[in-house]
Amino acid sequence: MTQKEFTERTGITPTPEQFDYIHAVYMNTSMDKDQFCEEFKKYGESEILRDVHVRAVNYELQCKQKQEVIENIADYLITKACDYDSEELYFKAVSLIGHRNVVLRKMELGLPFNTEDHTYIANNLK
């Protein structure tokens, strides 16, 4: 939803900063534009809504940070699995990020494929 659409539906003209908040809240709902605008007119200034929004943003940030850690650990496991020809480390990486992502990471890192990778690629390129 654009700021213009929001203003037309609510009669509220937010500042660009206020609309950033409004848009972020809207994008995290399953409501259509009209329903959201109706509800926002009633409850948009609610402290509860603002608090829930802050918590949701913080939660998303924490999830993103944890995902980055997981990806770094997986890269380490993938690299060490290749260095030491270790199936155990390889399958730990697969359990963390999935076989598809392990194959993609190996491609990006320029690492050689093992038998499991070749089988996975053959079965999924048909």
CA–CA distance, 12 with 112 (Å, rounded to integer)? 58
Q: How confident is the model over 82-100, as pLDDT tens digits?
A: 999 999 999 999 999 999 9
SS3 content of the chain, % helix, strand, coil (to 5): 80, 0, 20
Number of domains the chain is built from: 1
Report the predicted TM-score, pTM, of the whole model to 2 decimal places.
Answer: 0.75
Query: Is 49 within the bounds of a domain?
Result: no
Q: How confident is the model over 67-83, as pLDDT tens digits?
A: 999 999 999 999 999 99
Query: Is 96 within the bounds of a domain?
Result: yes
DSSP states along 29-79: S---HHHHHHHHHHHTT-HHHHHHHHHHHHHHHHHHHHHHHHHHHHHHHHH
Q: Measure the CA angle with vertex 102, ends 96 and 103; round to 5°.
A: 160
Domain residue limits at 105: 66-126
Query: Is 26 within the bounds of a domain?
Result: no
